Amino acid sequence: MKIAVVGYGYVGKAMVAAFDRADNIDYDIIDPTYEEYNQPLSEVMETCDAAVVCVPTPEGEDGRCDDSIVVETVETIGIDKPILIKSTTDIDTLQFFKENYPNVCFSPEFLRGRNSVEDFLQESKMVIGGEVSQAEGWVNVFQECIDIQDEAFVDIVEAGYVKYAENSFLAMRVTFFNDLYNLMQKAHPELDYDSTVYALGIDPRIGHSHNQVPGYDDKFGWGGHCLPKDTSAFVKFAERQGTDLPLIRSVRKINEDHRK
């Protein structure tokens, strides 16, 4: 099987590293920012059986997810070959794909930009949305590369909610632990925050993730590539539906104070 990897950023590099592990998967890379990979997608797809889309989807000026390159890529490939989108894609766009491109699946990624290859090669779960036969085919592909132990097959639009909801929840979690840290520093600076959150985390309902204060970047609050972008896009999506996500909006505002 030969797969076109469209986009060679941190997600695309993780896909390539995974495919390098498989005996029966070949690939071509398409990315105009690299001279050696700057080739027409339509020509590459003539010799490829499927495509994995890993192109940039930055936050737009209006706070929405700018997934225009994803749409352009899907429209260029068409409906004849399986497409797996790994790029963050807006829920409205996934609805468009559901109605017009039955060959498209979406599998949200939760990789850390600084450790994307390591994170993906150690991944044991996969959420994938789309037509079941298409989704099962992609799980079979990745089972040749990584040890998938848990998979969730959902509607492609549901997978979009999973992406936004998980990153929004993790942002709220980081905000909570920053508030706890600040409270302890104010009320009892002699106490050990780390031992406190360790004790808190032995309850399996809470666990030990996303409680480091300051964070890996030695700053308070949350930053990075995904959490700011996805929380903003989720709030904007809700606004377009005529509703609100007040908790996430509040978390974003609190985080601005934490990051100062």
pTM of the predicted model as reported, rounded to 2 decimal places:
0.93
Last-in-domain residue among 154, 185, 211:
154
In this structure, are 103 and 20 located in the same domain?
yes
CATH of the domain at 201: 1.10.1040.10
In this structure, are 34 and 118 located in the same domain?
yes
In this structure, are 123 and 30 located in the same domain?
yes
Q: Output the CA torsion 94→41→30→116 (10° steps).
A: 10
Last-in-domain residue among 131, 154, 177:
154
Helix (H) or strand (E) holding 143: helix 132-143
In this structure, are 140 and 165 located in the same domain?
no
CATH of the domain at 90: 3.40.50.720
3-state secondary structure (DSSP) of residue 152: strand
Give pLDDT tens digits along the chain (260 positions): 999 999 999 999 999 999 999 999 999 999 999 999 999 999 999 999 999 999 999 999 899 999 999 999 999 999 999 999 999 999 999 999 999 999 999 999 888 767 888 888 888 999 999 999 999 999 999 999 999 999 999 999 999 999 999 999 999 999 999 999 999 999 999 999 999 999 999 999 999 999 999 998 899 999 988 999 999 999 999 999 999 999 999 999 999 999 98
In this structure, are 119 and 81 located in the same domain?
yes
Domain count, the chain: 2
Its domain, for residue 189, covers 161-259
Which pLDDT value is given to residue 113? 67
In this structure, are 101 and 40 located in the same domain?
yes
In this structure, are 169 and 149 located in the same domain?
no
- For residue 190, the Cα-to-chain-centroid distance in whole angstroms is 39
Cα–Cα distance between 209 and 170 in angstroms, integer?
Answer: 9
Q: Is 66 exposed, middle or buried (0-12, 13-18, 19+ CB in 10 A)?
A: middle
Last-in-domain residue among 91, 120, 154:
154
Would you state the structure tokens that stand for residue 245, as one six-digit string? 């996500």
In this structure, are 168 and 126 located in the same domain?
no
